[in-house]
Amino acid sequence: MKKIPLVLSLLVFIAVACKKENSHKPDTSYNPVISSTDFTKSTSLTNPYFQYQPAKKYIYEGQTEDGFEHTEDSLLGETKQIMGISCVVVEDKIWLDGKLEELTYDWYAQDDSGNVWYFGEDVTSYNPDGSVKDHEGAWEAGVDGAKPGYASQNRPRGRPAAQGSKTTAAQAKVDQSNAEYEKLLKEVPAAPAPVTVATK
C-alpha cells in the first residue's frame, strides 16, 4: 500500500515537469520573414531613432536599487553574419558601484526600409570579484528557434503605417505594444539625454 502514494507522487512530478517544459516553447505566432535581399546595406544605420556613430561612446548612468549603475555603449568596427545578414556589433558595458557587472555584444542590422532589427547578443556576467558568473540571456537569431525583432522602426511613435500595407498579426502585436509604451511614457518624467564622448 505504501507504493501507491509513491507512484502518485511520481506521476504528479512528471505532469508538473512536462507542463513546465511546455511553458518554455517559443511563440509560433511571431514569425517574421527575414531575407538577405531586404538587407543590402544592413550595416549602415541611418534610422533617425536608432543612432550609433563610429568613434563615439554613449554613457548612461544613475542610481538604481542595486547601486550606482554606469553604462557605456560603443559601435565596434566589426560585423557578424547572422541568418546570411551582416550585423553591426555594439559593445555594451555595465558597471555597478564601480565594478564591471556585464559585458554584452549586441547585433543589429538595418533593412532597406530603414527598420533596425535586433539579431541577438553575446552576454558575459561577472561576480563582484571579477570572475565570470554566467552567460545567461545570450541568444542568436536562427539558433534554437530564436527570431530577430525590431530594435527601432523607421517611423516616429504614433505615426500610422503607410496606406495600403498589410498588417500581420505579429505587426499588430508590435503596434499594440508601442501604444501601451507611449501611454506609459506620458506617466513618467522624461529621462535626461545621454552623454556622448568622442574617442579616437
pLDDT score recorded for residue 176: 52
Q: What is the structure's pLDDT at 180?
A: 54
For residue 100, which amino acid is it? L
- Return the closest-CA partner of residue 88 out of 49, 121, 113: 121
Q: Is the pLDDT of residue 191 over 90?
A: no
* 48 has pLDDT over 80: yes
Pair 194, 58: CB distance under 8 Å: yes
Which single residue is written with the C-alpha cell 505615426? 159
Sign of the torsion angle spanned by Cα atoms 35, 139, 180, 172: positive
Asked if residue 179 lies in contact with residue 185, where contact means CB atoms within 8 angstroms, the answer is no
Annotated domain spans of the chain = 51-153+193-197
pLDDT tens profile 159-189: 444 433 333 444 444 455 555 545 544 554 5
Global pTM reads 0.67
Q: What is the pLDDT of residue 166?
A: 36
Per DSSP, the three-state class of 18 is helix
Q: How do residues 52-100 score in pLDDT, each as one tens digit?
A: 998 899 999 999 999 999 999 999 999 999 999 999 999 999 999 999 9
pLDDT of 13 strictly over 90: no
**16-28 tens-digit pLDDT:** 444 444 455 667 7
- 91 and 42 Cβ atoms separated by less than 8 Å: no
